[in-house]
């Protein structure tokens, strides 16, 4: 039993202002029907005793602790830069913006 008809695909395509050929409408109706059937099968096994998951493997954040360390000296960093001006990195102008 088909749950997605060609008429429904054509109607939704028209609402979305997407031009589809009759062949595309038929193909999409079949593909969407396969997807709807797969979702229906998943709903059959998704019972209240099966917990919902967002990922098949439990994930945990791996983060290092924050540690206060000495920062880099600005003059030392700018000395290694290809170009610097007024205590900042100098880069080529982009997008025709005025300096």
- Extract the tokens encoding 54: 């967002």
The answer on pLDDT for 42 being more than 60 is yes
pLDDT category at 33 given cuts 50, 70, 90 is very high
Please answer whether residues 38 and 70 qualify as being in contact, where contact means their C-beta atoms are separated by less than 8 angstroms: no
How far is the C-alpha of 13 from the C-alpha of 16, rounded, in Å?
5
Is the full-model pTM beyond 0.85? Answer: no
By mean pLDDT, which of 5-9, 31-35, 62-66 is the weakest? 62-66
Structural domains for the chain: 6-45 (1.10.20)
What is the pLDDT, as a whole number, of residue 2? Answer: 62
Provide φ and ψ at 89, rounded to 5°.
-70, 135
Tell me 49's DSSP state.
T
Work out the number of other CB atoms within 10 angstroms of the CB of residue 28.
19
* Residue in 28, 43, 32 with CA at minimum distance from that of residue 3: 32
């Amino acid at each position: 039993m088909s749950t997605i008809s060609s008429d429904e695909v054509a109607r939704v395509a028209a609402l979305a202002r997407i031009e589809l050929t009759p062949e595309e409408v038929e193909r999409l109706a079949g593909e969407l029907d396969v997807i709807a059937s797969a979702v229906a099968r998943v709903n059959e096994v998704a019972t209240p005793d099966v917990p919902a998951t967002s990922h098949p493997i439990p994930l945990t954040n791996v983060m290092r602790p924050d540690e206060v360390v000495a920062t880099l000296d600005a003059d030392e960093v700018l000395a290694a830069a290809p170009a610097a001006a007024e205590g900042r990195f100098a880069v080529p102008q982009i997008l025709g913006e005025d300096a």
